[in-house]
Amino acid sequence: MKRFSIPSPLSVLSAIVIGICVVAILWPSALTSGDPATGVAPEHLLPPDSAHWCGTDQLGRDVLTRIIYGARETLPAAFVATMTGIVLGSVIGGFAALSGPAVDTLLSGVIDVLLAIPELLLALTVVILTGFGPVHAALAVGISQTAGFARIVRNLVRTLRSQTYVEAARLSGTGFWGIVGWHILPNTFRPLLGMGILRYATAILSLATLGFLGYSAPPPTPEWGLMISEGRDYLATAWWMTTFPGLALLTVALAANRLSQAMTNAGEERP
Amino acid sequence: MNVSHFPERRGFAGHFLVQVGRALLILWGAFTLTFILLQMMPGDAVMIRFMDPELGLSPEQIETMRVLYSGSSNPVFQYFHTLWQVLHGNFGYSVQLGVPVGKLLSTALPVTLRLAGVGFLLSLVWTLAIAVGASLLPLRALRQAVHALPGLWSAIPLYWSGILIIQVLSFRLHLLPVVGVGAWEGVLLPGLAVSLPVAAPQAKLLLQQIEETERLPFVMASRTRGASRVSVFFRHILPNSVIPSLTMAGLSLGELIAGAIVTETVFGLNGLGQMTRDAVSGQDVAVLQAVVLIGAAGFVGANLAVDLLIPLIDPTLRMSHRIGGGKSGS
C-alpha cells in the first residue's frame, strides 16, 4: 500500500501532544502559574470550573497544575526505562547472535524465560530487590522490557549477518568490528526506533502502574499514577481527581503509539 | 509462535511432547531466575522481620527462625531444597505472615482465577465483536469507529478503566454494587476492566488478518458465486483469520494474572494481587516467587493449550490432514 507522504492529521495531533509534554517537562511554569505542592485549603474538592479547569483535590491543589508538573515525573523516567531496555537488550541480543551456537542457545533460553514472566511481575521482582522510589521503578520497568528488545535485536542481527552485502564486506577483508559497526549496527536503528517509541508508551503506563501501587515516588509528588491512587478515596464525590490524570496518561500513550505507527509506515515507504 | 506447527517427520503427538518439554524447561528457568534474583536480596527478609526490637527475640531465636524459614544458608543446597519443595507444591513460608505460601494461595488463587477467567472470556467476546463490527456494520463511519477501538484500549491504564467502570456502572447507574456481592458477581466488573487491554492486541491482530484474508482469491471467488457478505465473512474470512489472535490470546493469560494485581487493588478483592502487593511491601520473597511462577505457568500453559487447539481450528491444517500430507507451517 502506497501512502501519502503528508502526515495524517492524527500524526500531527500526536506530535503536538508530545510537544506540549516537552514544554511541560522543561518549563511547566509556562503552562500554569500555580504551584503543584501547595493548595488553598478552603478551595478543596472543587469541581472543574473556569478557575480550575480540572478541579481541585482534597488539599485544594489545582489538579491541572499537578498534571502539568506530573509530566516531569513520568515521561523522562519512562525514557530512561526504555533506553535501559534497549541498551541491555541490544547487548544481550547482539551478543547472542554474534557468538557461537552454545552461547546463543543459552541466551535465547534466558530470553524465552524472561518473556514467559509477565512484565509487571518481573518489574515487581526488581522492585522487591532494589526498594521503592522513582529511580528504582524506572530501572525495574527497563529490565522488564529488556527481553523483548533482546529477542528483536538477536533476530535482526542474525538476519543481517547472512545478507549478501555483509558477506561481501567480510570477503573483502573487513574485520569483525568493522562489519558490526558499519553494516550491522546502523541497520538496527530504524526497527529499534519504531519499537522503542511503542515500548515508550508501555513504559509510561507501567511506571504509572508502579506509582499507582505506591512503589514509585512518595505522596506529595504529582505523579500521575499516584494521583489516580490518591483520588480513589474520593471516587464517589470527586470524579475529576481520577479522571483527568488518567486522561493525561491515555493521551500521551496514544500519541506515542500513533507516532510509532507513523514511523513504521514511513520506513516501509522507503525504497 | 513462529514454530512450525506440523513438521513432517514428527507427528502431532511428537510435536506436542516437544512443546511440553519446552514449557517445563521454561518453568524451570523461571524458577531458577527468580531464585537467583531473590538470593540477591539486600539484607535477609527474615532478619528484617525478627530483628524488630519490639519482638525482643534473642540472637539464638533469630537464628532458629532463619533456619526454619530458609532451610540453610548454603545457596546451592538451598536451591535444590527449594526446587524439591516447589516440585511437591510447597512454596515455603511467608516471612511476613508466618503461614505457608500454599495456604495463602488456596484462598487467593480462586479469586484471581475467577477474575482472569471472566476477563479472558470477555476479551474473546470483545475481539469477536470488534471483528464482526468492523467488517459488517452498515455505515462506513461506524465500521471505522469500531476499527479504532483496539488502539484506544491498548493505551488505557488498567486501574483507571477499573475506576471509571466503578464510577459509571456502580455509582451513577447502580447496575452492580462493588462491595457485598457474591464470588462471581464480584469479579464481573473487574473482569470487564481487565478484558479491555487484553482484548486490544488480539483484536488488532484479528483485524489485520481479516484485511489480508479478504484479499485472497478464494474469498473473491465465493463472493462472485453469489454468497452473501455475512456468510462469506463467517464461513471463510473469520476461520482463516483467527489463528494468530488465538495465539495472542494464549500469550495474554500470564498478563491477565499480572493485570489482576492492579485490578484487585482497585476493586478491593482479596486475591493474588493483594497477596503480591503485601509481599512486595513486606519483602516477602517466597510469596513473590510463587506468584511469578504462577504467572509464568499461566503463560506456558495457555501456549500449550493453544498449540493443541490450533490444528482443530485452522482450516488449512484440517485440509492438509484430510488429504493426508503434512504441512510445514510458516
- B42 contacts chain A (CB < 8 A): yes
Q: What is the mean pLDDT of chain A?
A: 79
Cα A46 to Cα A57: distance, rounded to the nearest angstrom: 7
In this predicted structure, what is the pLDDT of residue B181? 61
Question: Among A264-268, B216-220, B228-232, B272-276, where is mean pLDDT lowest?
Answer: A264-268
Asked if residues B131 and B203 have their Cβ atoms less than 8 Å apart, the reply is yes
Neighbour-count burial for B70-109, b at 16+ CB within 10 Å, e otherwise: bbeeeeeeebeebeeebeeeebbbbbbbeeebbebbeebb
Contact across the interface for B262 and A121, Cβ inside 8 Å: no
Residues 255-274 of B with CB under 8 A from A: 255, 257-259, 261-262, 265-266
Contact across the interface for A215 and B280, Cβ inside 8 Å: yes
Q: Does residue B70 have a pLDDT over 60?
A: no
- Report which residue type is found at B85: Q
Which residue in the set B33, B155, B258 is minimally distant from A201, CB to CB? B155
Cα B141 to Cα B151: distance, rounded to the nearest angstrom: 16
Contacts of B292 in chain A (CB under 8 A): 117, 121-122, 125
Residues 54-73 of B with CB under 8 A from A: none
CA A117 to each of CA A131, B75, B121, B262: distance values in angstroms, whole numbers, following the listed order? 20, 23, 22, 16
Asked if residues B192 and B199 have their Cβ atoms less than 8 Å apart, the reply is no
Residues 99-158 of B with CB under 8 A from A: 151-152, 154-158
In this predicted structure, what is the pLDDT of residue B301? 85
At A180-238, the pLDDT tens digits run: 777 777 877 778 887 888 888 888 888 888 888 888 777 777 888 788 877 777 776 77
Contact across the interface for A209 and B259, Cβ inside 8 Å: no
- B1 contacts chain A (CB < 8 A): no
Asked if residues B272 and B111 have their Cβ atoms less than 8 Å apart, the reply is yes
In this predicted structure, what is the pLDDT of residue A88? 92
Q: Does residue B92 have a pLDDT over 80?
A: no
Cα B67 to Cα B69: distance, rounded to the nearest angstrom: 6
**DSSP code of A249?**
H
Here the cell at position A269 is: 515507504
% of chain A residues with pLDDT over 70: 86
- A10 contacts chain B (CB < 8 A): no
User: For the residues B221-230, what does the mean pLDDT come to?
Assistant: 78
Mutate to test the interface with B, among A125, A244, A258 (most CBs of B within 10 A): A125
Contacts of A243 in chain B (CB under 8 A): 164, 167
Contact across the interface for A116 and B288, Cβ inside 8 Å: no
Here the cell at position B83 is: 526446587
What's phi and psi for B187, nearest 5 deg? -100, 0
% of chain A residues with pLDDT over 90: 3
Percentages of chain A per state (helix, strand, coil), in multiples of 5: 75, 0, 25
Q: Does residue B326 have a pLDDT over 70?
A: no
Within 13 Å, how many C-alpha atoms sit on residue A236's CB side? 5
Q: Does residue B77 have a pLDDT over 80?
A: no
In this predicted structure, what is the pLDDT of residue B159? 80
Q: How far is A180 from chain B (nearest CA, A)?
A: 27
In this predicted structure, what is the pLDDT of residue B68? 59
Closest residue on chain B to A238 (Cα): B167
Asked if residues B131 and B200 have their Cβ atoms less than 8 Å apart, the reply is no
Given pLDDT bands bounded at 50, 70 and 90, which one contains residue A1? very low
H runs (alpha helix) in B71-100: 75-87
CA B92 to each of CA A223, B76, B85: distance values in angstroms, whole numbers, following the listed order? 36, 17, 8
Q: How far is A227 from chain B (nearest CA, A)?
A: 11
